[in-house]
């Protein structure tokens, strides 16, 4: 029997250390550091590197990576349990060296980079001396990459890139961008794009503006609208083969999506914890909110939403460890991705509602969490697209019937059973 829902005692000790460290050291830093990715912020640079050193000393740095890349190689289940704790913080993932988009970008460089590219980009990224961005979505639409038009044309020993990308998160802080561009427009739809690493200081890269998200100060946008004008990059800055951009992107996006989901478990738990504290603290009509049955239903629904989602995330993490092949867990990852925004939205909304006017104010995190649920339903692909992927994967396990009625049509089943058990039925006179 191999089903097991317990964490081994040794790793639990590490998780206890992380819980304490995050509560005491990381949560306070979140109150004063605006963007943990901003390597030019002196407050960030004074507060975050000493915490990163403590994490390194503890052997918990870059837990998404194997020992060959400086991580402990814990695998996805252990990473999930760790990310649940980090998910309720802004700086936690950076402090532990497992933050997006660098985690996914480092996976791409590790898989597809030449030794020179690894030395130049991956090594400083893993040491967290620099940050990177992922430049895929275009202003005309991100859901259908086969419609992308940003192009890279080979000219001697260089690729020349022209086009526009939208919502390249943290490109304003990044030392390089991982870029998806059309190299082979005449090929089949899924063979037209290739992946590149592009140093941010290459002439011709223009950040048109850093787009902000509703609720954040307008001048603090971090999702860059990037224009590439005749940007020349060396021929060897191609990642993977020419025309293999989709394949390379899957390496990155599969991991990125499940890591977001692991952190979301932590955020949802934070909303539930705060909701429970509030209803046990606030009275109305002579009794605690916690004694009202409509409130109890909200607590119960939230607990069920969280625990169902958490089990799906952990099982998907377990499958990734088991198969070591993102193609085999495509449907599972899409299921997690599609479930994530609704769980966060529903639980955060109930927490907001139960905090009354305080709940909608800037003084509690719930309105930000509700908005965050919409980010979750878009970043790394819209929910609808993931539902389509999941449905396709599910339907692969089924075939239709040519019969007029379904194979499980009750009259048919009854007739078959009556024929099979005719002797018994006759004996008892039915």
Ligand X SMILES: Cc1cc2nc3c(=O)[nH]c(=O)nc-3n(C[C@H](O)[C@H](O)[C@H](O)COP(=O)(O)OP(=O)(O)OC[C@H]3O[C@@H](n4cnc5c(N)ncnc54)[C@H](O)[C@@H]3O)c2cc1C
Task: Point out which residues bind ligand X (CB under 6 A).
Answer: 101, 134-137, 141-143, 167-169, 223, 375, 378-382, 384-385, 388
Nearer residue to ligand X within complex by CB, 240 or 319: 240
What is the DSSP secondary structure assignment for residue 97, as one 8-state letter?
A: T
Please give the C-alpha separations between residue 42 and each of 32, 129, 257, in angstroms, as whole numbers.
11, 14, 31
Output the smallest distance, CB 2 to ligand X, in A. Answer: 37
Nearer residue to ligand X within complex by CB, 101 or 359: 101
Nearer residue to ligand X within complex by CB, 47 or 249: 249
Helical (H) or strand (E) element with 298 = helix 293-323
To which residue do tokens 């992922």 refer?
Answer: 134
Output the smallest distance, CB 170 to ligand X, in A. Answer: 7
- Whole-number Å distance between alpha carbons of 164 and 141: 11
Nearest to 224 by CA among 214, 237, 210: 210
Output the smallest distance, CB 339 to ligand X, in A. Answer: 16
- Whole-number Å distance between alpha carbons of 390 and 338: 9
Nearer residue to ligand X within complex by CB, 170 or 350: 170
Nearest to 259 by CA among 79, 62, 110, 94: 79
Output the smallest distance, CB 67 to ligand X, in A. Answer: 28
Phi, psi dihedral angles at 44 (to 5 degrees): -60, -45
Distance of CA 424 to the CA centre of its chain: 58
205 contacts 226 by C-beta, under 8 angstroms:
yes
- Whole-number Å distance between alpha carbons of 116 and 214: 40
Output the smallest distance, CB 309 to ligand X, in A. Answer: 20
Please give the C-alpha separations between residue 361 and each of 265, 357, 367, in angstroms, as whole numbers.
23, 7, 8
Nearer residue to ligand X within complex by CB, 27 or 378: 378
Largest distance between two CA atoms of the chain: 91
Output the smallest distance, CB 359 to ligand X, in A. Answer: 23
Output the smallest distance, CB 177 to ligand X, in A. Answer: 9
Shortest Cβ contact with ligand X: which residue?
142
Output the smallest distance, CB 138 to ligand X, in A. Answer: 7
Nearer residue to ligand X within complex by CB, 167 or 228: 167
Tokens representing 369 are 């969490």
Nearer residue to ligand X within complex by CB, 155 or 384: 384
- Whole-number Å distance between alpha carbons of 352 and 316: 30
Phi, psi dihedral angles at 292 (to 5 degrees): -80, 130
Output the smallest distance, CB 380 to ligand X, in A. Answer: 6
Nearer residue to ligand X within complex by CB, 78 or 257: 257
Nearer residue to ligand X within complex by CB, 14 or 256: 256
Nearest to 347 by CA among 309, 314, 306: 306
Nearest to 205 by CA among 190, 227, 181: 227
| CA torsion through residues 81, 84, 89, 93, sign | positive
Helical (H) or strand (E) element with 403 = none
Nearer residue to ligand X within complex by CB, 51 or 181: 181
Helical (H) or strand (E) element with 56 = helix 42-58
- Whole-number Å distance between alpha carbons of 415 and 307: 43
Output the smallest distance, CB 181 to ligand X, in A. Answer: 12
């Amino acid at each position: 029997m191999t089903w097991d829902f317990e964490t081994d005692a040794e790793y639990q000790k590490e998780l206890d250390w992380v819980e304490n460290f995050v509560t005491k050291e990381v949560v306070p830093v979140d109150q004063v550091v605006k963007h943990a990715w901003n390597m030019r912020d002196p407050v960030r640079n004074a507060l975050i590197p000493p915490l990163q050193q403590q994490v390194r000393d503890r052997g918990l740095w870059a837990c998404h990576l194997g020992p060959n890349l400086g991580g402990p190689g814990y695998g996805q289940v252990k990473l999930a349990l760790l990310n649940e704790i980090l998910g309720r913080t802004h700086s936690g993932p950076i402090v532990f060296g497992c933050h997006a988009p660098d985690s996914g970008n480092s996976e791409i460089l590790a898989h597809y980079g030449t030794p020179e590219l690894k030395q130049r980009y991956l090594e400083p990224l893993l040491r967290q001396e620099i940050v990177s961005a992922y430049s895929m979505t275009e202003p005309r639409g991100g859901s259908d990459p086969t419609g992308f038009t940003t192009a890279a044309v080979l000219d001697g020993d260089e690729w020349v890139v022209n086009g526009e990308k939208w919502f390249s998160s943290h490109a304003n802080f990044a030392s390089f961008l991982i870029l998806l561009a059309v190299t082979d427009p005449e090929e089949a739809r899924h063979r037209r794009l290739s992946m590149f690493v592009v140093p941010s200081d290459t002439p011709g890269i223009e950040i048109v503006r850093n787009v902000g998200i509703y609720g954040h100060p307008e001048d603090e946008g971090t999702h860059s609208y990037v224009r590439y004008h005749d940007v020349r990059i060396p021929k060897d800055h191609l990642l993977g083969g020419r025309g293999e951009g989709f394949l390379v992107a899957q390496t990155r996006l599969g991991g990125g999506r499940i890591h977001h989901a692991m952190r979301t478990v932590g955020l949802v738990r934070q909303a539930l914890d705060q909701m429970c504290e509030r209803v046990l603290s606030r009275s109305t009509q002579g009794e605690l909110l916690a004694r009202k049955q409509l409130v109890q239903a909200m607590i119960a629904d939230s607990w069920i939403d969280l625990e169902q989602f958490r089990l799906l995330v952990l099982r998907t993490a377990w499958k990734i460890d088991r198969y070591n092949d993102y193609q085999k867990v495509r449907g599972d990852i899409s299921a997690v991705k599609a479930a994530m925004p609704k769980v966060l939205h529903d639980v955060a909304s109930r927490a907001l509602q139960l905090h009354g006017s305080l709940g909608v104010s800037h003084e509690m995190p719930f309105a930000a969490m509700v908005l965050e649920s919409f980010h979750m339903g878009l970043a790394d692909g819209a929910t609808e697209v993931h539902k389509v992927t999941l449905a396709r994967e599910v339907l692969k396990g089924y075939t239709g019937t040519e019969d007029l009625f379904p194979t499980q049509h009750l009259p048919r089943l009854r007739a078959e059973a009556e024929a099979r058990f005719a002797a018994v039925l006759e004996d008892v006179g039915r």
